[in-house]
Chains A and B, each alone.
Chain A
Amino acid sequence: QSVLTQPPSASGTPGQRVTISCSGSSSDLGSNTVNWYQQLPGTAPKLLIYADIQRPSGVPHRFSGSRSGTSASLAISGLQSADEAEYHCAAWDGSQNVYVFGTGTKVTVL
């Protein structure tokens, strides 16, 4: 089962913009939309972005997503200390009929 590739860490100072990449293949990101989950320390993941760019109700506009080809990215603008968390990308893999997650990126606010 393949996984999506993310950088292990990212960081920024309060107010900065941070971008996290997510790299996949033709059968996952190349064929289906990407979803992003935020996991605060010691808690269950929470849906942050779905269908590439959509934000569930209650998610601040500071969070935005995009996808092109077999890659996707999550941007956090106006970084806040409350954004310190692990971020996971994910997508459906139509060739294996499985849901694949990224390797996860820990965001630190300096």
Chain B
Amino acid sequence: EVRLVQSGAEVKKPGESLTISCQGYGYGFNGFWIAWVRQMPGKGLEWMGRVDPSDSYVDYSPSFEGHVTISVDESINTAFLQWSSLKASDTAMYYCARPLGNSGYEYYFDYWGQGTLVTVSS
């Protein structure tokens, strides 16, 4: 059974750093990209970027580049999303998701993690 299991909820203060994770089970982890998706409270979904576990290549959405860092450790089947200095506006639910392909008509998410709620408040 394919599963993406994310790390637990986090409560942080502005300016703190944070790394959340997404571990894949039940499939060849190196064979599929992992993407990160943000959902701010009461809002829609936003694609943040993606990583290819086979070579650690990362693509960012222009809206998120420079604000977060996406990485992967294929030896433990885990992708990461990292902030060096959190802001209150980073408060959101963050999902990892696995696309079938890498672009075009094959780019859709057939598996999602359960989500990690990040709350940033002083």
Contact = CB atoms under 8 A, between A and B. Distances in A.
A30 interface: no
B47 A98 contact: yes
A35 B108 contact: yes
Interface residues of B, number: 26
A24 interface: no
Interface in B25-58: 35, 37, 43-47
Contacts of A99: 35, 47, 99, 107
Contacts of A100: 47
Contact of A97 (B46, B59, B99, B110): B59
Contacts of B103: 92, 94, 97
B63 interface: yes
Interface string A73-110: 00000000000000010101010111111111000000
Contacts of A94: 103-104
A32 B37 CA distance: 20
A82 B102 CA distance: 32
